[in-house]
Amino acid sequence: MAEVQETDFVIVGAGVAGLRAAIGLADSGARVLVVTKEALAESNTHYAQGGIAVALTGEQDVALHLEDTVNAGDGLVNRGAARVLVEEGPLRVEELLRWGTDFDRENGRLMLTREGAHSRNRILHAHGDATGAEIARSLLRHARAIPGITLMEWTTTVDLVVEEGAVAGVELLSADGQMHQVRARAVLLASGGAGQVYSDTTNPSVATGDGIAMAWRAGADIADMEFYQFHPTALSLPGVPRFLLSEALRGEGARLRNSRGERFMESCHPLLELAPRDIVARAIAREGMGPGGEQLPVWLDMRHVTAIDPAIRFPGISKFLVAHGLDLRRDLIPVRPAAHYLMGGIRTDLHGRSSVPRLHAAGEAACTGVHGANRLASNSLLEGLVFGARAAEAMQDAPALHAGRAPVPAEPPKNNGDLPEPRERLQRTMWEKAGLLRDAEGLSAACRQLCALKSQIPSSASRQGIETRNLYTIGKMIVASALAREESRGAHYRNDFPHRDDSRFGRHSLLRGEKISFEEL
Share in percent of the chain as helix, strand, coil (round to 5): 35, 20, 45
| DSSP conformational letter for 244 | B
Cβ–Cβ under 8 Å, residues 345 and 359: no
What DSSP assignment string belongs to 372-441? TTSPPTT-HHHHHHHHHHHHHHHHTTSPPPPTT----PPPPPP-----HHHHHHHHHHHHHHSSSSB-HH
Cβ–Cβ under 8 Å, residues 10 and 170: yes
Calpha distance 387→367 (Å, rounded): 11
| DSSP conformational letter for 296 | P
Number of neighbours of residue 106 by Cβ within 10 angstroms: 8
Catalytic residue chosen out of the listed positions 92, 183, 242, 277: 277
Of 229, 252, 190, which is closest to residue 50 (Cα–Cα)?
Answer: 252
What b/e readout covers 186-224, taking b as 16+ CB neighbours within 10 angstroms? bbbbbbbbbbbbbbbbbbbebbbbbbbbbbbebbbbbbb
504 in active site: no
According to DSSP, the residues that pair with 31 across neighbouring strands are none
Burial of residue 295 (CB within 10 Å: 0-12, 13-18, 19+) is exposed
| DSSP conformational letter for 273 | G
Calpha distance 395→387 (Å, rounded): 12
Collapsing DSSP to helix, strand or coil, 336 comes out as strand
Calpha distance 453→22 (Å, rounded): 38
Collapsing DSSP to helix, strand or coil, 266 comes out as helix
Cβ–Cβ under 8 Å, residues 76 and 375: no
List Cβ neighbours of 129 (8 Å cut-off, separation of 6 or more). Answer: 49, 50, 246, 248, 313, 314, 315, 316, 317
Of 166, 122, 138, 230, which is closest to residue 401 (Cα–Cα)?
Answer: 166
Calpha distance 194→345 (Å, rounded): 10
Active site residues: 277
